[in-house]
Structure 1
Amino acid sequence: MNTRLIPLYKEAHLDLERCPSDANAGLWYDKFCNQWASNWSLGDNGKMKWLQSMQNGRVGDKDLLEEVLKRYIKLVKSLGGEVRFFRNITPFVTGLGRTHPIENGFIWHHNLGTPYLPGSSVKGIVRSWAESWWDGEENDDKKDLVRQVFGPENEDQKTVGSLIFFDALPVEPIRLATDVMTPHYAPYYQNEQNVPGDWYNPILIPFLTVAPGQLFIFAVAPRNKDQIRDLEITLNWLTEALGLIGGGSKTAVGYGCFKLVPDAKAKYVPEEHSAADPKNDMEKAPNSQEPERKLTPIQQEMEEDGYSTDANAFMEALTVKWLDRMEADKGEASESKEIAELLASWYKKNRANQWKKPTGKNIDKVQRINSILENYSLDKYK
Structure 2
Amino acid sequence: MSYRPNPPVTEYLVLEKLQDTAKKPPSSANPALVLDKYVGWATNNRGKREVDKNWLKSVFIDHYRSMLGARDGEYKAAYQAYYKRWTTMLSGYNANQRVLKTVWRLAVHLGRTSVIENGTIALQHSLGFPFIPGQSLKGLARAYAEMVALKDNPAELLRLFGDQKSEGSLIFFDAIPDGLPELELDILNPHFPDYYSGKKKLPTDDQNPVPVNFLTVAKNSRFLFGVAATAVAKPGDSEQGIDLLCNALEELGAGAKTAAGYGQFQRTK
Same fold (TM > 0.5): yes
2:229 is aligned to 222
CA contact 2:22–2:34 (8 Å) conserved in 1: no
Deviation at 1:14, TM superposition (A): 3.9
Deviation at 1:197, TM superposition (A): 4.0
Cα distance in 1 for residues equivalent to 2:109 and 2:50: 23
Determine if the alignment matches structure 1 residue 41 to structure 2 residue 50: yes
Structure 2 unmatched runs, 5+: 1-11, 69-73
Cα distance in 2 for residues equivalent to 1:120 and 1:244: 19
> Which has more radius of gyration?
1
Cα distance in 1 for residues equivalent to 2:48 and 2:58: 17
2:75 is aligned to 61
- Give the aligned residue type for 1:26: A
2:35 is aligned to 29
Determine if the alignment matches structure 1 residue 147 to structure 2 residue 158: yes
Cα distance in 1 for residues equivalent to 2:263 and 2:98: 16
CA contact 2:22–2:39 (8 Å) conserved in 1: no
1:87 is aligned to 101
Structure possessing the higher relative contact order (Cα contacts under 8 Å, 6 or more residues apart):
2
CA contact 2:39–2:55 (8 Å) conserved in 1: no
Cα distance in 1 for residues equivalent to 2:66 and 2:112: 24
Q: Is the strand fraction higher in 1 or 2? A: 2
Deviation at 1:232, TM superposition (A): 2.0
1:329-352 CA-to-partner distances (Å, cap 9, x unmatched) read xxxxxxxxxxxxxxxxxxxxxxxx
Structure 1 unmatched runs, 5+: 1-5, 263-382
1:300 is aligned to none
Determine if the alignment matches structure 1 residue 122 to structure 2 residue 128: no
Determine if the alignment matches structure 1 residue 189 to structure 2 residue 200: no
1:70-101 CA-to-partner distances (Å, cap 9, x unmatched) read 22222222222211111112111212112333
Percentage of matched positions with identical amino acids: 30
- Give the aligned residue type for 1:247: A
- Give the aligned residue type for 1:169: I
Alignment of 1:331-370 (within 5 A): none
Normalised TM-score (structure 1): 0.59
Q: Is the helix fraction higher in 1 or 2? A: 1
Deviation at 1:52, TM superposition (A): 4.0
Normalised TM-score (structure 2): 0.81
Deviation at 1:147, TM superposition (A): 0.8
Alignment of 1:1-382 (within 5 A): 8=14, 14=20, 17-37=23-43, 39-42=48-51, 44-46=53-55, 48-57=57-66, 59=68, 61-104=75-118, 105-134=120-149, 136=150, 139=152, 142-152=153-163, 155=164, 157=165, 159-191=166-198, 194-197=201-204, 200-224=207-231, 227-262=234-269
1:3 is aligned to none
Deviation at 1:43, TM superposition (A): 5.0
Distance 1:16 1:29, change over 3 A: closer
- Give the aligned residue type for 1:40: R
Deviation at 1:15, TM superposition (A): 6.3
Deviation at 1:255, TM superposition (A): 0.9
Cα distance in 1 for residues equivalent to 2:85 and 2:55: 40
Deviation at 1:213, TM superposition (A): 1.8
